[in-house]
Amino acid sequence: MKEVKVKIEGLELDFEKAKAIADILVGGTLIAWSDGKRSYPDVVCCSIDDKPGWMVYGETRGNVKVEINNYTFYYLSDEEAEH
CATH label of the domain that carries residue 72: 3.30.1490.340
Of 47 and 8, which is predicted with more confidence? 8
SS3 2: strand
What are 12-57's pLDDT values in tens digits?
A: 999 999 999 999 999 899 999 999 999 999 887 777 788 899 999 9
pTM, 2 dp: 0.89
Gap between the Cα atoms of 72 and 83, Å rounded: 23
Q: What confidence score (pLDDT) does residue 45 get?
A: 76
SS3 65: strand
Which is it for the CA torsion 72, 77, 81, 82, positive or negative? negative
Q: What confidence score (pLDDT) does residue 83 get?
A: 47
Of 82 and 12, which is predicted with more confidence? 12
Q: CB-based burial of residue 80 (10 Å sphere; 0-12 exposed, 13-18 middle, 19+ buried)? A: middle
Domain interval for residue 23: 2-81
What would the mean pLDDT of 1-22 be, rounded to a whole number? 96
